[in-house]
Chain A
Amino acid sequence: MASRRATKERAAADARPPLRCMTIVAQDPGLTRGGRILTAKVAVPAEDLMAGPMGYRVQVVDYDSTRRYYHGSHVLPATYDREPRRWRRGEPSIVKDVRFHAQNVYALVMKTLARFELALGRRLGWSFENHQLKIAPHGMFDANAFYSPIHEGLLLGYFRGRSGRPVYTSLSHDVVVHETTHALLDGLRERYLVPSNPDQAAFHEGFADVIALLSVFSLPEVVTHLLTPARHARNGATTIARRHIEHEALQTSALFGLADQMGQELDGLRGNALRRSTELGANPKILDDPEFGEPHRRGEVFVAAVMQAFIAAWSARIKDMGLEGQRAFPLASVVEEGADVADAMATLWIRALDYMPPVHLTFQDALTAALTSDTQVRPDDQRFKLRHHLKTHFAAFGIVPVKAKNGSPADCWTAAPKDLRYHRVRFESMRNDKDEVFRFLWENQEALGLQTDAYAKVISVRPCLRTGIDGFALRETVAEYYQVARLTPSEFSDRKIPLPRGFLAHLKRLKLERDAKAAKRSKSRAGALERDGLDADDGDEPSPDAGIDDDDSFATAIYGGGVLIFDEYGRLKYHVHNRIFGRRQKQRLKYLWDAGLLTARVEGAGYRAQRLATLHRMRSIDARKFPAEGW
């Protein structure tokens, strides 16, 4: 009897589908139709959820740190059909339903995680050791939301809007996905939050915006709503006129239309990314403008390029599908294509991450990575022409792919050298063993341009299986490594990397202070020893006459690194890297010093990373920093 029951249960468990559906707010409570909040039904990986809800990757902790109040461990409906009807209908009461808020954030985080895993063809970890990302849907009273790696979680704030009504960032689709993307990107590229160059900090914000916005546009419910004015919906319109699917018209209705309808109160939190993407005109010099030096502003250029490319691809696709001179198009097809293009664009950018260097990323690197990785898994770009539109719209802002060398295809990374040594490494081990990949690096130091006098470490080895939109499968192994060297000023000089003058002056000042303190200590010790009738030895106090040039207590760390992409046979396809002693280091160090992100200290200079919470607040008040003017 017992074994029959167990068999029955096992059979039931095996019959459970891998996905389940949940209701979420399609954009935010500001997007309504017929008095109801626009909702969407999304598929997320199925799992046995505990009260919280808590699953294998996410733990919702509904604790309000302002009120010091725990809302309780929420038990979510087991299936979509068991959800309260008012959730699915989007009734206004869901704004006050904290259980629904918990489901909303859980579903959006899991959907985004699943999206990344599908695109990258493997499981993803967080940047911290634990398995679960914590989420506080009502974390504190604040017009802010952010990811914090050291707290291993997302904090979503709440506040009162201008109308006096409560505003919950946990109900904003793009805000939740934006923060989740920060967490996922941090897990994939942990050094992107370390200061490097203006593009890298901007990329974190810009990329998170892009994924968030494309996530919204990939919902047919949202696209239908934006393309169908309410009166047409009431009349049951099923077609859309050609003039409304031209590039400019789509830009106005889709991008601008969404920007306009997004909850106004969250404008500050979101920055102006979506609105800017419609306003920023072609300007190849825009990134040289000091107004676009701040990460949140610079990131808007990245968003504008991607979103304008998305609209161009969508418009072109619809026209390609139709007949010459066709005046109206089926609404359902236009919506479906829009959602598909958004989905494909998001996938393209997520996959591109594997082809980006692990340190010192620039927008140019990001674009080249996107074009290269997409070529690998989707050689045929005829359907959406995404690569063509991306190149065009990035070029409008002065961002062009890195020039390929050695006869490699244009717009792609240069192929890896052919004369590499494989005979001492084992292919199977290289698919998941960091030591084996390190051995490969060791065997090929010269060919790969590694510095032998710098510390090297393999950070990750990730086998993946990617499937293109046409079923084409691609097996790769992606391994990241970085290099670090702590150099004295004279060692920098030997490698022809001059340190910023102000930084050197500061180091010298620190040395003088340290030596003065040491001399004082020495004198007092000598005095004490003399009183005790003992000889004072020289000790190991540094000579006050020695400069900082060779004193390694004033060493500054410098980084380089790369990503190795192996094909299914274990052969290196690409080596995307930034040399640790390369020419670009001089410019980077100058930028870091001028931006106040490089601090001179005894026992090693440091890099001052900015918290994402602070970055978002700066974005809210559109603040500018002038660190070169500070003391």
Chain B
Amino acid sequence: MPKGPTSVEIRTYQVGFGDCFLLSFVYSGTDKRHVLIDFGTTGLPGRTRRRSAHMPRIAKHIKSVCGPNGLTAVVATHRHADHINGFGTDGGTGRSGSIIRDLKPRLVLQPWTEDPGAKTDARKATRESSRSRKSFVAGLAAMNDVAAMVASIATKPPAWMSSALQKELLFLGQDNVANRSAVDNLIAMGRRPGSTAVWAHHGSPSGLERLLPGVTVHVLGPPDLTQTEKIRKQKSRDPDQFWHLLSAGASTKGRNLLAKGFPSGARAKRHPVPPAARWFRDRLERLNGQQILEIVRTLDQQMNNTSLILLFEVFGKKLLFPGDAQIENWSYALGDAPDAAKTRALLAEVDVYKVGHHGSLNATPKQALWERFRKRNKGLRTLLSTLPGKHGSSRSHTEVPRKTLLQELEARSILQNTMRLKATSPEPCLLLTLKR
């Protein structure tokens, strides 16, 4: 039984707006164990790249790195398309998921929200709470439905919709729709004989330690419902209900309610809008667009907060991979959890930080996380997988990656940034090697 790795190789793949990281724990010349964290994209750099060509190329490179031993584990931090659509076995990403599946991972790790058992677990989170895992997960499914409606609106936008609004709605909508093929493949990989599926939450085992001797893996997020509901001083309503109300009926009769509403009252002939009402009518239409954008941005953030946050400890080095977790997810680990002080102490010594949510403004908590990293200006390594111009806008200071964060990363850390890696370059990834 090997004692522990002698080195770790971290490959950051060029997937444009998406995440794909391959961690290779090197025990010996012939014993390398590989963990793939996420594999997805919602936008590739360059004009001519197609996902159906690019993603299989990435998958083949992963296969070549893994060699005959295949993958030790696959981690899907959360269900956003830019993190998991590469696991799909349909034509959308050129069946790249089939190549991954053939690497026969021995473990598939996902957040508890993806556990098929959670869908039917109707037990209340706590005695004082009205929420259950079933209602929460059903809320996520409702969000997927709402996102599908938004994406559909953006595909055939009404005349009043600006191209900027259409672009953002399409991007966010598509990122948040359910990826059936990818989800099915992840479940199938976990059910394969000889494999295990683990659905984790803050403090729960990851299942990786038995496969990676000498490596400790802390699951810092997301918190389970019981954990979040317990710390509330006031009983919460059912905030998941909001998404059900928006999506209700979407799947019945296939009607896109966000695009078409439903008739109020008895059917009547169409009335022309009188002159006195036209000013307000025009503003209502633009307001409608604003509201839809706000809805999809809100659900996008809620979905990000289901992300796994993993901290690997290997030969004294700490590697932090938080997926797209935003501050609401972090707040439990850093402040509300009973072991928050211990977590903060661990995180202060991080050596490698995968920048959260592609460098967005609220996924690298400034005071609670970044400013506590002691190794800033002292060799801290940061990994950023992103593509500008896809998400947010600089006018509203929400551009991804966020300019102020990027400046800070460049000034205070050794940054590896996929923006500097051409999609056509021979090596489709950046490599960072850490030695014992």
Residues of A within 8 A of B (CB): 52, 54, 59, 61, 63-73, 96-98, 101, 134, 136, 138-144, 148, 151-153, 155, 158-162, 164, 166-168, 265, 267-268, 271-272, 276, 279-280, 289, 291, 599, 613-614, 617, 620-624, 626, 628-631
Chain A CB within 8 A of B294 CB: yes
Assuming the A-B contacts A69-B270, A144-B291, are A629 and B366 also in contact, with contact meaning beta carbons closer than 8 angstroms in the complex?
yes
Q: What residues of B have a CB within 8 angstroms of the CB of A168 in the complex?
A: 264
Contacting residue for A70 out of B262, B272, B361, B367, CB 8 A:
B272
Question: Would you call B272 and A621 a contact (CB within 8 A)?
Answer: no
Complex Cα spacing A64 to B408, Å? 46
Instruction: Indicate whether A629 sits within 8 Å of B276 (C-beta atoms), given known contacts A73-B271, A141-B258, A142-B246.
Output: no
- Cα(A628)–Cα(B364), bound, Å: 11
Partner of A66, one of B239, B260, B271, B397: B260
The answer to whether B361 and A291 have CB atoms under 8 Å apart is no
User: Is A265 in contact with B245, judged by CB distance below 8 angstroms?
Assistant: yes
A101 CA / B265 CA spacing, docked (Å)? 10
Shortest distance between the CB of B283 and any CB in chain A (Å): 5
Beta-carbon contact of B273 and A63 below 8 Å: yes
**Complex Cα distance A289/B233, Å?**
9
A–B Cβ pairs within 8 angstroms, 12 of them: A63-B273, A63-B284, A67-B261, A71-B271, A141-B261, A160-B248, A268-B239, A272-B237, A613-B291, A624-B328, A626-B365, A629-B367
Q: How far is the CA of A539 from the CA of B237 in the complex (A)?
A: 62
Bound Cα distance from A96 to B283, whole angstroms: 26
Count chain B CB atoms within 10 A of each CB in A144, A159, A613 and give the residue with the most: A159
Specify which of B239, B264, B283 lies most central, judged by the most chain A CB atoms within 10 Å of its CB.
B264
Neighbour of B246 across the interface among A59, A143, A164, CB < 8 A: A143
A162 touches B245 (CB 8 A): yes
Chain B residues near A67: list those with CB within 8 A: 260-261, 263
Q: Is A630 touching B362 in the complex (CB atoms < 8 A)?
A: yes
Determine whether the beta carbon of A70 is less than 8 Å from that of B277.
Answer: yes
- Chain B residues lying within 8 Å of A153, measured Cβ to Cβ, are 280, 283
A295 to chain B, nearest CB (A): 15
User: What are the 7 tightest A-B residue pairs by CB atom distance, in nearest-first order?
Assistant: A66-B261, A141-B261, A629-B365, A65-B288, A98-B265, A65-B284, A72-B271
B331 at interface by CB-CB < 8 Å: yes
List, in ascending order, chain A residues with CB within 8 A of B238's CB: 267-268
Residues 328-345 (chain B) with a chain A CB within 8 angstroms: 328, 330-331
Q: Are A599 and B397 in contact (CB under 8 A)?
A: yes
- Note all chain B residues with C-beta closer than 8 A to A265: 241, 245
Q: Are A291 and B232 in contact (CB under 8 A)?
A: yes
B294:A613 contact, CB within 8 angstroms: yes
Bound together, the chains give a CA A63 to CA B261 distance in angstroms of: 12
Chain B's closest residue to A140 (CB) is B288
**Interfacial chain B residues near A621, Cβ < 8 Å:** 239, 242, 298, 302
Q: How far is the CB of B146 from chain A (nearest CB, A)?
A: 11
Inter-chain CA distance A160–B246, complex, in Å, is 8
Contact between A631 and B362, CB atoms less than 8 A apart: yes
CA A40 to CA B330, docked complex, whole Å: 49
Cβ 8 A contact of A142, one of B291, B364, B366: B291
Within 8 A of A (CB), among B269-294: 270-274, 276-277, 280-281, 283-285, 287-288, 290-291, 294
Q: Within the complex, what minimum Cβ distance (angstroms) separates A20 from chain B?
A: 23
User: Is B291 touching A97 in the complex (CB atoms < 8 A)?
Assistant: no
- Is the C-beta of B430 less than 8 angstroms from some C-beta in chain A? no
